[in-house]
C-alpha cells in the first residue's frame, strides 16, 4: 500500500503546486491574522523582546533564529 500511496502523493503535490502558481503577498499566519480581522479593539500588541528572550534560553538554535528540537528515536 505504501508505494501506491507514495506515488499518488507525488502526483497530488505536483498538481496542487502547479495549480497554485506564484504570487508575491504577505503570508497569512494563523491566530494573529484571524483575530486581526475580527477584533474591534485595534492592533494587537507586539512584544519585541519575547521571541529573542525565548531563543536565548533554548537549548539549541540555528543561525536563522529557529529552535532545534531533537526528534525522538522511536520516530522513523
Partner 1 sequence: MSALEELRSGALSAKENVARYLEAIEARDGEVNAFIELNPHAEQEARRVDERIEEGKAGKLAGLVVAVKSNINVRGLRATCASKTLENYVSPYDATVIERIRREDGVIIGMTNMDEFACGSSGETSYFGPTQNPSARGRIPGGSSSGSAAAIAAGFADLALGSDTGGSIRNPASHCGVVGIKPTYGLVPRHGLIDLAMSLDQIGPLAGDVRSAALLLEVIAGHSDREATTLRVSPPEYSSALSADLSGMRIGFAREFEEYTAKEIIREVKHALSKLEAQGASVVEVELPSLDKALPAYYLTVFVEFFSATRRYDGRRYGYRIEEVCGEEVLRRIMLGRYISQKEYSGRYYRRALQFRSLIKREVLSALAEVDLLAGPTTPKLPHRLGESLSPLEMYAYDLLTVPANLAGIPAGVVKAGEVRGIPVGLQLHARPLEEQKILNAMYALEGGT
Binding site for partner 1 (CB under 8 A): 1-2, 4-6, 8-9, 11-13, 15-17, 19-31, 34-35, 37-39, 72, 74-76
Q: Which residue, 38 or 56, has its beta carbon nearer to partner 1? A: 38
For residue 18, the minimal CB distance to partner 1 (Å) is 8
Least distance in angstroms from the C-beta of 32 to partner 1: 10
What is the number of helices (H) and of strands (E) in the chain?
3, 0
Residues 36, 44 contacting (CB under 8 angstroms):
yes
**Cα distances (angstroms) measured from residue 33 to each of 8, 25, 70:** 33, 14, 30
Which residue number, 9 or 54, has a Cβ lying nearer to partner 1?
9
- Pick from 73, 72, 49, 52: nearest CA to 61: 52
Q: CB of residue 29 vs partner 1: minimum separation in angstroms?
A: 7
Amino acid at each position: 500500500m505504501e508505494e501506491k500511496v507514495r506515488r499518488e502523493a507525488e502526483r497530488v503535490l505536483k498538481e496542487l503546486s502547479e495549480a497554485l502558481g506564484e504570487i508575491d503577498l504577505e503570508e497569512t499566519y494563523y491566530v494573529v491574522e484571524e483575530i486581526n480581522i475580527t477584533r474591534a479593539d485595534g492592533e494587537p500588541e507586539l512584544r519585541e523582546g519575547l521571541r529573542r528572550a525565548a531563543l536565548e534560553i533554548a537549548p539549541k538554535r540555528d543561525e536563522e533564529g529557529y529552535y532545534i528540537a531533537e526528534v525522538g528515536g522511536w520516530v522513523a
